[in-house]
Amino acid sequence: MKQALCLGVVAALAIAGCAPAGSQSPATGGKKEISFLVFETPNLTPQYWDDAIKRVTDEHPDIVVKKVVAPSAGERNGYAKQLLASGQLPDVLQAIAPAGFAESGNLYAWSDEELKNYEFPKSNPLGGKIYQLPYNTQPTPLVYYNKKLFADAGITAPPKTYTELLDASAKLKAKGITPFVVGGGGKDSFAAGYIWIALVGTDVYRTQPDFLVKRRAGQVTFSDPAFTKATRKFADLVADGYVDKAGLSRDYPSTERAFLDGKGAMYPMGSWFAASADANKPPFDIGVFAWPTDDGKTVVPAYTGGGPIVNAKSKNLDAARTFALEFNQNAANNDVLVKTDAAIIAIKGYQPPPMGPVYNETLNVLKSGTVVNAFTVETGDDALLPGVGDKAFAIAQQIIAGTTDGASASRLLDEEWAKAGGR
């Protein structure tokens, strides 16, 4: 099986036209060639990546980039691990969690000088070192809602407390309107997890911001009361008929389309959705609110990171470092990323281009609340153990399917943690 996996990875790389990491060849005229792992979404299209790469290589004509594309956005971390196992880790990898790579010496640690232009230069450290450029802040998730469906159900304002959220959900259901649109089908299991991520942020991380640090130390478990309460809330929303179980058959693009087509009133999703909402305006207005807390205080799960990581063993390490830094700090690249993926750029002095109302409201919600980590998205010392994030999404699918309840889901997550080598 392992041999077949490696052969499959080699074949995939051959299809992508990727030379071995950090090579030079007659075809490149002796220029420094690097490979770059990316992933595609409805916002981040092949053309987006090609154009962004070209902006950097136009400034650095001595660098030639071979693009490698992950099978899907949700599979990009697992795919990167396959490439590492086959000895073909790309030179630069975009938005790949460094945990599981850095510990074995495979990643380059950025210096303070290289990080001086970033707003939050010490985001997501692993062993005190920064391996991923922290260039983009993403609230994950906020709740995007259909103002027309809210009005049809007699809801005059977005809920501020969890009790108000339940009341709004009941009113929507009574009118035959699906309260929550979710996804999780096919390769995009991550799209099933956003309600859970929101609840862990409001009910666990708000009071225990170091929960996963303690989990790694064996001082807490996922079966502890606070985490189980958050998970039970997720299961209860499903049991009450507020979550669209049909979402389990939808991939990520289809899930977004379902909300834009008016098939549900609320869409818990990362801030990148604002780009689609503004660019593909549906026949209704879209609002934004933070997932409500029990006491009404605004809490926003968010993540600052998402930049490239660099293969420390690249044969063209200087070229890889130069490309990674320029890819993130190129103003034109960032302008396009803001427009296409609603990025909130965390680089000093950067000013975004004029944006639409959903993006601006997203930014206002982020600024109005207490920011906590986003469960499953962490990539530093407070991250889930390698591989456990994918297991969490699979458990979220089970919760939506109604095949497990909150306490059982917490126990399942503890079991997966133990299988991954955790205490």
Concatenate the DSSP letters of all residues of 179-192 into one string. Answer: SB-----TT-GGGG
Whole-number pLDDT of residue 29: 61
Q: At CA 118, angle to CA 55 and CA 372, rounded to 5?
A: 120
What is the reported pLDDT for 149? 98
Residue 154, exposed/middle/buried by CB under 10 A (0-12, 13-18, 19+)?
exposed
Superfamily per CATH, domain 139-303+362-419: Periplasmic binding protein-like II (3.40.190.10)
340: alpha, beta or left, given left = phi > 0 and alpha = psi -120 to 50?
A: alpha
Per-residue model confidence (pLDDT) at position 186: 87
Position 18 scores a pLDDT of 43
Helices and strands: H and E segment counts in the chain: 15, 11
Q: Which two tokens stand for residue 59?
A: 């400034």
pLDDT the model gives residue 21:
55
3-state helix, strand, coil in the chain (%, to 5): 45, 15, 40
Contacts of 223 (CB under 8 A, 6+ apart): 407, 410, 411, 414
Collect all residues with Cβ–Cβ distance below 8 Å to 226 and sequence separation of at least 6. Answer: 203, 204, 207, 208
Looking at residue 187, its pLDDT comes to 87
The CATH class of 2-137+306-355 is: alpha beta
State the Cα–Cα distance between residues 98 and 102, nearest whole angstrom. Answer: 6
The two most distant CA atoms of the chain are separated, in Å, by 69
pLDDT at residue number 327: 97
Residues of the chain with CATH 3.40.190.10: 2-137+306-355, 139-303+362-419
How do the pLDDT tens digits run along the chain, 423 residues long? 333 333 343 334 433 444 445 555 444 567 999 999 999 999 999 999 999 999 999 999 999 999 999 999 989 999 999 999 999 999 999 999 998 899 999 999 999 999 999 999 999 999 999 999 999 999 999 999 999 999 999 999 999 999 999 999 999 999 999 999 999 998 899 999 999 999 999 999 999 999 999 999 999 999 999 999 999 999 999 999 999 999 999 999 999 999 999 999 999 999 999 999 999 999 999 999 999 999 999 999 999 999 999 999 999 999 999 999 999 999 999 999 999 999 999 999 999 999 999 999 999 999 999 999 999 999 899 999 989 999 999 999 999 999 999 999 999 999 999 999 999
CB neighbourhood size of 29 (10 A): 9
C-alpha distance across the termini of the chain, in Å:
29
Residue 7 neighbours by CB under 8 Å, 6+ apart: none
Q: Cα(108)–Cα(313) distance, rounded to whole angstroms?
A: 8
